[in-house]
Amino acid sequence: MSAATNVEPAGPGMQAPPGGTQPPDFPTVMGHPRPLWMLFMSEFWERFAFYGIRWAMVLYIVAQLHGGDASYEKPASELYGAYLALVYAGAIFGGYVADKLIGFQRSILLGAVIMAAGLFLLASPTESMFKLGLATIIVGNGLFKPIISTIVGKLYAQGDERRDSGFTIFYMGINLGALLAPLVTQYLAQKIFGVEGMPAYKVVFISAGIGMLLSLVWFWFGRRQLKGIGLPAAHQTGPRNVSLVLLFGVVIGIPLFYALLTIDATLLQYILMALFIIPAIMLFREGVVEGKVSRDKVVAMLVIFAFNVLFWMFFEQAGSSFNFLAEKIVNRDIGMQGLFQALAGTNDFPVSWFQSVNSVAIIVLAPILAWLWVKMGRNNPIIPRKFGLGLIFNGLAFLLLMVALSSMVDGAGKIPFWTLFMVYVIQSVGELCLSPIGLSMTTKLAPAKLGGLAMGCWFLSIAIGNNLAGIFAGQVSGEAGMTVQSAHAGYTFGFYALVGSGVLLFLIAPLINKLMHGVK
């Protein structure tokens, strides 16, 4: 899950203040409501926790739970993909809980407590406890992540010109957390607590848990600044509803997600697709009821959702197969042993640091691409073609890997460091072409009465893509662990699938655009 995909103006069941509703009169800091900076730091620490474990998960599963046996790379990747898929699927229910039961502030606080507990559980040395920790994180994330983004929107009145820049600042908090987390957790795991060259992966999870507690503390003491925004309604006050949500999460939510993490990845894929198809049919039926224009918009939206699945299937290799690639096949000796030894306790470029490349690229490239879209004016690509560009750039990243693995392998069976580094950069360009417009597009194309359901379908399309990413990563590793040959075969398929789908989307873009009836 990339940092740039996590800026939601509103989640399912959650809406920004309706027209005419004015937020409290906040004191300003650097031109923005003061609570924005509190939310910025709360989100920074939550993203630190979330991305802090990303680089270590599959490596930990193989090294610590299976004694380093490379044949377990495939199930490790599938588990990682299932975890990410369920994080997105679980978030769909967070809006309902916050709206109907406990209010936004208490949803964030309860979610932070549950997520922290899950992160600490990951450090347990058994596979069952590890999966229990993942299931716990999924439940906590559903209560936390979609809600805090919605509160940012509630700081601004409709039409407030500062609104977009406020979300941009909040977005920087996300990317800074994602940028620093791999660097800090790698340092602690390798330089401080590592033994005999083996990173102390458990330290990564404990560090992430502490980061989540910092997010909790930051929001706990800072929430008074919100002047009532996100407080529970009169009928939601008292401990009863919070107790019910906690009980439901512990008794039903965590066991359910634990069970889904233990089933075969293909079976989980069928379940996720069924969850998508049902609301998709409901959206289409509502579109038909509302008339031809609404029906056409729903069709266009669902077609783009299908291409969105393909994008995330291949983009989200960063936490799975790319980690095995970096550890086993990339030459990370770039002649800076003294610096890396001082900063990370290793002589080579650390595997975890690759995870920060995406955040750096997003921070650097996002303003450039935003300027370019404005500069192009009337020549600005239509929405389907921007999605097509996202797929094609993602495919070009796989083309670079395909070439590297076929013609740049040295005598030690390694490919140059710069190739994987640039893969992350090229993928980031694709992400910026696709991800920022997806949520906005969904709100514009959805039937008037089913906006939340449409947003749920958007998240489910990403969930399906993430689970497929785990399955694909397992195929890249093969039955005995990743080799140059298995990686080359897998990434070659990724290139053709992405570029082929991107070109197809380019070709049918005029038809999809016609179905969108002027939505830009």
Are 54 and 103 within 8 A, CB to CB? no
Please give the Cα distance from 162 to 344 (Å, whole number). 40
Q: State the first-to-last Cα distance of the chain, in angstroms, to the nearest integer.
A: 26
User: What are the backbone dihedrals phi and psi of residue 207, each rounded to the nearest 5 degrees, phi first?
Assistant: -60, -40
Are 430 and 393 within 8 A, CB to CB? yes
Give me the DSSP letters along 386-408. HHHHHHHHHHHHHHHHHHHHHH-
Q: Where are the alpha helices (DSSP H) in 187-329?
A: 201-222, 239-248, 254-262, 265-290, 292-315, 321-328
pLDDT for the residue numbered 372:
87
CA angle 280, 284, 289 (to 5 degrees): 145
pLDDT for the residue numbered 508:
95
pLDDT for the residue numbered 2:
54
How would you write the pLDDT of the chain (520 residues) with one tens digit per residue? 555 444 443 333 333 443 346 888 898 888 889 999 999 999 999 999 999 998 889 999 998 888 889 999 999 999 999 999 999 888 878 777 888 889 889 999 999 999 999 999 998 888 999 999 999 999 999 899 878 888 888 898 877 778 767 877 887 888 899 999 999 988 888 777 665 445 678 889 999 999 999 999 999 999 999 998 888 887 778 888 899 999 999 999 999 999 999 999 999 999 999 989 998 999 999 999 999 999 999 999 999 999 999 999 999 999 999 999 999 999 998 888 777 777 766 778 988 899 999 999 998 988 888 888 878 888 888 889 999 999 999 999 999 999 999 999 999 999 999 999 999 999 999 999 888 777 778 878 888 788 778 888 888 999 999 999 999 999 999 889 999 999 999 999 999 999 999 999 999 999 999 999 888 7
pLDDT for the residue numbered 199:
62
This prediction has a pTM of 0.88
pLDDT for the residue numbered 11:
38
pLDDT for the residue numbered 147:
85
Cα 356 to chain centroid distance, Å, stands at 14
The 10 Å CB-count burial string (b at 16+, else e) for 175-187 is: bbbbbbbbbbbbb
CA angle 395, 319, 437 (to 5 degrees): 55
pLDDT for the residue numbered 236:
77
Between the CA of residue 255 and those of 112, 250, 258, what are the distances in Å?
Answer: 19, 7, 5
Query: Tokens for 18?
Result: 């309706």
Q: What share of the chain is helix, strand, coil (3-state, %, to 5)?
A: 75, 0, 20
